[in-house]
Amino acid sequence: AVLLPRAARGLTEGLYCGRRVCYEVLGVSRQASKSEIARAYRQLARKYHPDRYRGEPAAPSGDDDGAQAAHEKFLLIATAYETLKDEETRKDYDYMLDHPEEYYRHYYHYYSRRLAPKVDVRIVILVTVCAISVFQFFSWWSSYNEAINYLATVPKYRIQATEIARQQGLLNKTKEKGKNRRSKEEIREEEEEIIKDIIKNKIDIKGGYQKPKIYDILLFQILLAPFYLCKYIVWYCWWIYCFTIKGQEYGVEEKLYIIRRYMKMSQSQFDSLEDHQKETFLERQLWIRENYEVYKREQEEELKKKMAMDPRWKRYRRWMKNEGPGRLTFIDD
């Protein structure tokens, strides 16, 4: 292989094949194909592999020196093959041969590829997302069970659930006699589970303690992101067409949506509000911006009055007035 002297002078010790040209090490040209490079490597590896090397017949040095030289030759051949078999690495190496003056760039590309993680980044991201999703799902189940256990201790819900269980004859089944008779502890535990099951079926918990759904976890949210995006675009075009172009009147759902956006609340937060609160919003026509601004000022004034009547707030204001920061007092001896 004929190479430019300029390229040979640009070779650097410690990068790729060092002062040797990798193509010359394998005895191929720069235009050699992958198969030609692999074939040249196999031929040289069979000749210089430490387990198969028997020494040159006319070698002037001793056997140990010959074996050591063969070992070093084999490492150089392996390095040349590793450099040229990969398309990206070979591209970097060819660029170094053609642009030897870009010294620091060659060092950067060489070590960035050597120190780069061998594991596919996509696999790492997928495993991370799956781990987060599993943690999310079990964490939500834990929160949901905590909410059910708490509601089972609230007299209002416990009495209603117990009454429903009696009407359905579920509690009577727990007190069996004869061979199937159980201890009071077992009966109490079964009754507790029945009450919790009724609460689960009859109460719709909203917010952070709601029953977890598989499509709410991160993995499914990422997979469904294109669907949600297309759905939002279709909905937005429909909104513009119906209420901006055609000038149709808002329905109840559209009015509540505008009110929720004004209040800067998420869907789950808005759903957790009582029905009478939503009816009040509709009665006051809060989907109209001017009406909402009036309502907002009223809420702020009401909050100020509550804080003014709060004993703790009064004590805080009295402390700020008499002894708060910025006040300088002298104590006589």
Cα 93 from Cα 7, distance rounded (Å): 11
Cα 81 from Cα 37, distance rounded (Å): 7
Cβ atoms of 31 and 84 within 8 Å: the answer is: no
Give how far Cα 169 sits from Cα of 156, 172, 195, 198, Å. Answer: 20, 5, 12, 13
Cβ atoms of 199 and 157 within 8 Å: the answer is: yes
Give how far Cα 285 sits from Cα of 169, 262, 264, Å. Answer: 47, 12, 17
Place of tokens 């060489």: 110
The per-residue pLDDT for 39 is 92
Residue 293: count other Cβ atoms within 10 Å of its Cβ.
12
- 3-class DSSP assignment, residue 90: helix
CB-based burial label for 70 (10 Å; 0-12, 13-18, 19+): buried
Query: Cα–Cα–Cα angle for 280, 206, 211, nearest 5°?
Result: 160
Cα 51 from Cα 7, distance rounded (Å): 35
The per-residue pLDDT for 58 is 44
Cα 314 from Cα 320, distance rounded (Å): 10
Biggest alpha carbon–alpha carbon distance for the chain: 110
In the chain, what are the domain boundaries? 22-57+64-115, 121-173+183-212, 249-321
Cα 227 from Cα 296, distance rounded (Å): 36
Instruction: Count the alpha carbons within 13 Å of 159 in the hemisphere toward its beta carbon.
Output: 3
Place of tokens 């040095």: 61
Q: Quick one: what percent of the chain has pLDDT higher than 90? A: 28
The per-residue pLDDT for 167 is 83
Beta carbons within 8 Å of 149's beta carbon, 6+ residues apart = 196
DSSP assignments along 174-240, one per residue? TS--GGG---HHHHHHHHHHHHHHHHHHH----GGGSPP-GGGSHHHHHHTHHHHHHHHHHHHHHHI
- pLDDT tens digits, 10-19: 566 678 888 8
CA-based radius of gyration for the chain? 39
- pLDDT tens digits, 170-199: 776 555 555 566 677 887 888 888 888 888
Query: Both ends of the chain: CA-CA distance in Å?
Result: 101
The per-residue pLDDT for 144 is 85
> Which stretches of the chain score pLDDT less than 70?
1-13, 52-66, 116-119, 172-182, 204-209, 313-314, 316-333
Cα 83 from Cα 152, distance rounded (Å): 68
Cβ atoms of 212 and 140 within 8 Å: the answer is: yes
